[in-house]
Amino acid sequence: MPDPVFAMAMTAAALAAAGGWLVVCGLLPRQIRLSDALGVLADGTEPDTAEQGPVVVTDPTSRLELAGAWLYQTARLPLSASAMRALMLQGRSIGDYFVNKAVLALGGLVLPHLLVLAARPLVGSLGAIPVGVGLICGVIGWFWPDFALRNQQQQTNADAEEALNTLFDLVVLERLANMSATQAMAAAARLSDVPVFVHIRGALERARLEQRPPWTDLHRLSRELELPSIADMADVMRLDDQGAALAGVLTARVKELRDAHLTRERVRAHQASEAMTLWMSIPVVVFALAFLIPPLLTMSGAA
């Protein structure tokens, strides 16, 4: 009959060896794909699939943000595409995001032990319960920023759409001042430090430094942020290279984008109103029961 203790020891040793192997593989430097390297050498441009993503550090003087960036780069922690998009729209850095996760996880691990230490004169020793509770709280604290980003996604999208509509109005005004398409977008993007303005300004500046039209960069930014309006505006502004009159076309397109945004806001408001209907009906049901139950009890007692 096999010894269960020996089987558990072998399983634990195998898991430890596999974990060590994964850690070593994660610490090894990543190899660049040959197709990307040859593409850069061939035409001097980045691959079409390359995305900029959120910045790693926005404040180099912040030790906490630098610690989060170090944790992300050293441990090679995964970051989903939806989280990257949310960070870009909120103007947050990867270092700030991961230091927030680390602080909450560490707080979840330590807090149960501190509570048990403070309550030990009253309840005595609780054994291994604080360890288990601390692990659970640590896991919750690590994933809590992900839940917060997901809950704020709708409001973040609404803020980004409002900023884009404002930017497009500014582009129309700059275009009416006889500026070229690129100059109008650059002048409009310089008027605010909202994250959407900053990303568009960065795409325009990168294209200017590389001495090429910015439409490809704007399309790439549209895919990263999942904001098709940026790509639509880039397509309209590209007509300037063909000598087309943009004032009427640009004004009509901005009006269409605003009407679409207004329709989405109305649908969102209607959904919010319907969601409130259930909570509004609960007090009515409670009051109805409060008035109906005494007579029913009286009738049942009399019967």
Q: Could you report the average pLDDT of every consecutive run of 10 residues in the chain (303 residues)? A: 57 69 62 58 47 74 84 83 87 88 88 78 69 85 90 86 86 82 87 89 89 88 88 81 65 78 80 76 81 80 56
- pLDDT at position 44 is 47
- pLDDT at position 48 is 43
Q: Measure the CA–CA gap between 255 and 257, rounded to whole angstroms.
A: 5
pTM of the model: 0.67
Q: What is the DSSP string of 160-182?
A: HHHHHHHHHHHHHHHHHTT--HH
Residue 90 burial (CB count, 10 A): 18
Quick one: tokens of 173? Answer: 């005004």
- pLDDT at position 46 is 46
- pLDDT at position 161 is 86
- pLDDT at position 241 is 64
- pLDDT at position 1 is 46
Quick one: tokens of 26? Answer: 């994660």
233 Cβ contact partners less than 8 Å away, ≥ 6 residues apart? 168, 171, 185, 218, 253
- pLDDT at position 47 is 42
